[in-house]
Structure 1
Amino acid sequence: MPPELSLLVTCAALAAATVAQRVVGMGFGIIMAPLVAIIDGPLAAVLVVNVYAALACALMVPGLWRHIDWSRWRWLVVPATVGSVAGLLIARATDADVLRVGVGVAALASVVVSVRFARTDHRVDGPGTRTAAGATIGLLNSSVALGAPPIAVYAMVSRWNNPSFTATMQPFWVVLCLVTLAQRQLVAPGGAPAWPWWGWVVAAVATTAGSLTAEPVARRVPPRVARLGVIALSLASGVAVTAVGLAGLLG
């Protein structure tokens, strides 16, 4: 695909992914990673997704500041940072497609179980749960770019209300994206899409436009619909990563 067309498609997807990220609290990587990987390759996907996810989430933080649960953020982000290092090491030592299939199937099962759990009156939360959730998110995000399902599982079993969840996830992803970028550039530098220099600026403008559009959209989405969006995106990411792994094994 010509670089200019690649840039145009990516910019349209960036705007849509930013809206999803604001409304649901996640989804940027689920929309962007497969698209960029197909157009420009997996290394470019890591770079583009993390650069613009960090930007999109950072733009949303000021407007959501009063809803951010900083205590819960700390419990999640510190183990996620550590877990991302472990995930990178696992990814380097394991066949990528086998890892994708195993993680994808486990993610799908965990989301289904959590949905059933959420229908009961039980609630599971606390330092141990948050630490385990954060570490799992970081590990899966850096190994197979699949951070969404463990986030959804934790949100459901802890009964985290959607306004706080959506707000807290934005600074969480800012930190995790920057950490992942630093790690990946040390281990596998390069792989940037063949855009002209101004293409990066245009993509940043598309992301900014998406963040401006996202706020009025989010105000019109009922909490129940947002919760269903969390589940749907988590299942979609599990299916996608499993399909990619199976395609690699059978190809």
Structure 2
Amino acid sequence: MEPVVVLILSAVFLGAVSQRVAGMGFGLVSGPFLVLLLDPFSGVVLVNICGIVASGTVFLRTWREVEWSSLWKLTLGTVIGAIPGALLAAALPAPPLQILIGVLIIASLISSMVIGRIGKTMPANFTTQFTTGLLSGTMSAAAGTGGPAVSAYAVLTRWQQRAFAATLQPFLMVGTTSAVIFKAIFDHSAWPQLQVQTWIGIAAMLVAGLIGGDWLSKRIESSSARIAMIVLALGGGAATLIKGLIHLW
């Protein structure tokens, strides 16, 4: 097996573990590494495809706690937001897009951490939910990371964690599916050109990562898992940013 395939499978496994343990993080953890290993177009599409499966699997276990009234407002925004995100990804050359992805990942992580310490709140209404979905959809299509925007919204509205984590799964499913569809429409070459055995390996790593994450979630604190997710995502985002800058220069 080629080293790059091993690294792709490892990134998928880590992303699946993060998704199961923290309720989010597949795109944040695996996204920047898949962009580095493939390219900023097909890498993001692969992140979206795997994210649909990962979120859908978690959703099967948490659907009873979903806040459906909040979900439809968020998903309306994310479907619309996926359009400009996909257009932006299709219009930019590879190096600037890598830079954009790296900046978006780093900025979204830092802003979510800062927001968590501010202590301010905002109302949970149609405007804030639609806007959050819009921003998340744009980031999902452009960079494969739609989670931080809705995570910041959850902090600012004091959304109860269990309901937030449950609602996040179908929300991410809709957002990533929209991103894949619009990216396929605007850029026909964005679909990852991988061999059949690599796709089979990716599916196996998704299952293994979700099972491993389920086992791990019962043995470590969620705060520790979140710290590990942030460290991995920041490292991958920085590497993607640096690679884009090097290629641009």
Q: TM-score, normalised on structure 2? A: 0.81
Q: Does residue 164 of structure 2 align to residue 159 of structure 1?
A: no
Deviation at 1:216, TM superposition (A): 2.4
Which residue does 1:204 correspond to in 2?
203
Q: Which residue of structure 1 lines up, in the alignment, with residue 66 of structure 2?
A: 68
Q: What's the offset of the Cα at 1:244?
A: 4.9
Shift of 1:117: 4.7
Structure 2 residue 124 is the aligned partner of structure 1 residue 126: yes
Q: Taking structure 1 as reference, are residues 203 and 144 closer, same or farther at Cα in structure 2, changes over 3 Å only?
A: closer
Does the CA contact (< 8 Å) of 2:16 and 2:54 recur in 1? yes
**Distance of 1:112 and 1:41 partners within structure 2:** 24
For 1:157, the aligned partner's letter is: L
Question: Kindly tell me: are residues 74 and 43 of structure 1, through their superposed partners in 2, closer, same or farther at Cα, counting changes over 3 Å?
Answer: same
- State the partner residue of 2:86: 88
Q: Which residue of 1 aligns with 2:39?
A: 41
Measure the CA separation in 1 of the matches of 2:109 and 2:16: 23
Structure 1 CA distance for aligned equivalents of residues 93 and 198 of structure 2: 34
Query: 2:45 touches 2:144 (CA, 8 Å); kept in 1?
Result: no
Alpha-carbon distance between aligned partners in 2 of 1:105 and 1:41, rounded to the nearest angstrom: 16
Kindly tell me: are residues 247 and 168 of structure 1, through their superposed partners in 2, closer, same or farther at Cα, counting changes over 3 Å? farther
| Number of residue pairs aligned between Structure 1 and Structure 2 | 247
Shift of 1:17: 0.9
CA RMSD of aligned residues (A): 3.1
Q: Which amino acid aligns with 1:147?
A: G
Tell me the residue number matched to 2:146. Answer: 147
Q: Is the 8 A contact 2:21 2:222 kept in 1?
A: no
Matched, 1:18 2:16: yes
Residue 176 of structure 2 aligns with which residue? 177
Amino acid at match of 2:42: A
Deviation sequence 1:113-140 (CA, Å, 0-9, x none): 6545544553213222111111011112
Contact preservation (8 Å) 2:95, 2:245: yes
The yes-or-no answer on 1:193 pairing with 2:189 is no
Distance 1:21 1:43, change over 3 A: same
Offset at residue 144 of structure 1 (A): 3.2
Separation in 1 of the partners of 2:164 and 2:200?
Answer: 30
Task: Check conservation: 1:118, 1:159, Cα contact below 8 A.
Answer: no
Superposed CA deviations along residues 61-80 of structure 1, whole A, max 9, x for unmatched, are: 11122232222222211101
Give the fraction of aligned pairs with identical amino acids, expressed as a percent: 27
State the distance in 1 between where 2:187 and 2:68 align. 32
Secondary structure at the counterpart of residue 188 of structure 2: coil
- 1:170 is paired with a residue whose SS is helix
- Residue 38 of structure 1 aligns to a residue whose secondary structure is helix
Equivalent in the alignment of 1:51 = 49
Contact 1:53–1:177 under 8 Å retained in 2: yes
Is residue 146–residue 175 contact of structure 2 (8 Å, CA) maintained in 1? no
Change (3 A) 1:199 1:106: closer
For 2:137, the equivalent position in structure 1 comes to 138
**Given that residues 136 and 150 in structure 2 are in contact (C-alpha distance below 8 angstroms), is that contact kept between their aligned partners in structure 1?**
yes
